[in-house]
Amino acid sequence: MDSQSSCRGSACAAETGQQTAQRDPMEREAIGRRMSQVEHKILVLSGKGGVGKSTVAVNLAVSLARKGMRVGLLDIDIHGPSVPRLLGLENRTPQSDGESLEPVLYGERLKVMSIGFLLRNREDAVIWRGPMKFSAIRQFLKDVEWGELDYLIVDSPPGTGDEPLSVVQLIPDADGAIVVTTPQEVAVADVRRCVTFCRQLNLRVLGVIENMSGLVCPRCGAAIEVFPSGGGKRMAAEMNIPLLGSIPLDPGIAAVSDAGTPFAQTDLDGPAARAFEQAIAPIVALGRQDEASGAASEIGNQSREGKEMATVRVAIPLAQGRLAMHFGHCEQFALIDADQQQKTFQAQQLITAPDHQPGLLPRWLGEHGVSVVIAGGMGQRALSLFEQQGIEVRIGAPSEEPERLVALYLQGSLPSGQNVCDH
């Protein structure tokens, strides 16, 4: 993965149907080995672009490194990589030994990787479909020599699309996500969807940072409200998630960021810098707890236990009340919520299947919070799309009533026969 063309080539292979990391246990194992050397994995998300998400991710990574932590910063914003610019690393190129890729080093403790390092020209547009982006992210996790890290910070693009889905799927033990918003309601509304995305994928929301919360006057230092204030705070309270802090706009921070210097690397002092330090304090505390008593390891175990205990939503395609053997042409879907630990049903509903469109059902069921699909048969392309959505698929099930199939699934005894719809 040493150039734009090589990324495109490997991704095209995924698009034409060759095995991806999700279907290749060896590649999954390779990613697992890399990530086992990373103590904490944190995603930085936003529901809307232009809220300062990358600035938050970069300065969080730099702050952690300055506090003595070993940090990696992975920029998976494939279409708009801004991390190299924010760190003043635009002219750097990763080195390769033929098997792995060395991340670009910023200072002594921060390792950085971005698609921006691999483009021939800064103005090149990356015009890729979902499978191509998935392939690149897989390579960033599998082939980059991250080494032992205290933190891996992942800067995701805005929204809830392919990139964050891929990372959550490839790093199932991530500690959680920091969600960045601005105070106005149009941004907060998108952040609500971002929080819902995390909850549907059993990804813990570590907290919300409200950025651009007022403007620091360059003359007197007073805060001026530019947008209606408090949107992030209200949303955090309503959705029962922590508000990490509210950071005002500061012209000094904007100036150093444009020059390629993270403000966390400077001696800037003011309301914005102090608010940022306060906002990231709970994240810094994870590493300090590790050094003191290993408490962060316990947090990771609790997070994994929570995922195992979480309610699972199973979707079953129906025809005349029983499992439809041809997945893409069913009449209805039964959605059954079940407790995996207690092996009990919690809720059930029937929803009418949408009009048949190629590639629609994986995304549509993902939007309904489905995490498992039980089917009689399914084409290979549909299987691949469900894998990209992070949805488990069990094929070859018999044509029985949905309640019976889910009961067998919870007991670990669901029959698995021949895929009757492999086209």
Convert the pLDDT of each residue in 144-180 to its tens digit. Answer: 999 999 999 999 988 888 888 989 989 988 999 999 9
Give how far Cα 112 sits from Cα of 124, 155, 227, Å: 20, 11, 33
What is the sign, positive or negative, of the torsion defined by CA atoms of 263, 71, 124, 3? positive
From CA 295, how far away is CA 137, in angstroms rounded? Answer: 30
| pLDDT at position 102 over 90 | yes
> Sign (positive/negative) of CA torsion 55, 61, 64, 65?
negative
Buried b (16+ CB within 10 A) or exposed e, 174-194: bbbbbbbbbbbeebbebbeeb
How many Å apart are CA 225 and CA 229, to the nearest integer? 7
Full-model pTM: 0.62
From residue 327, give the alpha-carbon distance in Å to each of 161, 221, 352, 398, 421. Answer: 24, 62, 13, 13, 8
**Separation CA 382–CA 190 (nearest Å):** 28
β-partners of residue 102 are 95
User: CA 324, CA 175: separation in Å to the nearest integer?
Assistant: 38
Alpha carbons within 13 angstroms on the beta-carbon side of residue 366 total: 21
Residue type, 270: G
Please write the tens of the pLDDT for every residue from 236-276: 878 888 888 888 887 777 788 878 888 887 766 677 777 88
**Percentage of the chain with pLDDT > 90?**
21
Residue 127 reports pLDDT greater than 90: no
pLDDT at 202 over 50: yes
| pLDDT tens digits, one per residue of 355-374 | 777 778 888 888 778 889 99
345 vs 102, more confident: 102
Domains in the chain, CATH or no CATH each:
4-306 (3.40.50.300), 310-411 (3.30.420.130)
How much of the chain is in helix, strand and coil states, percent to nearest 5?
Answer: 40, 20, 35
Q: What separation in angstroms does the CA of 278 have from each of 64, 246, 301?
A: 13, 9, 26
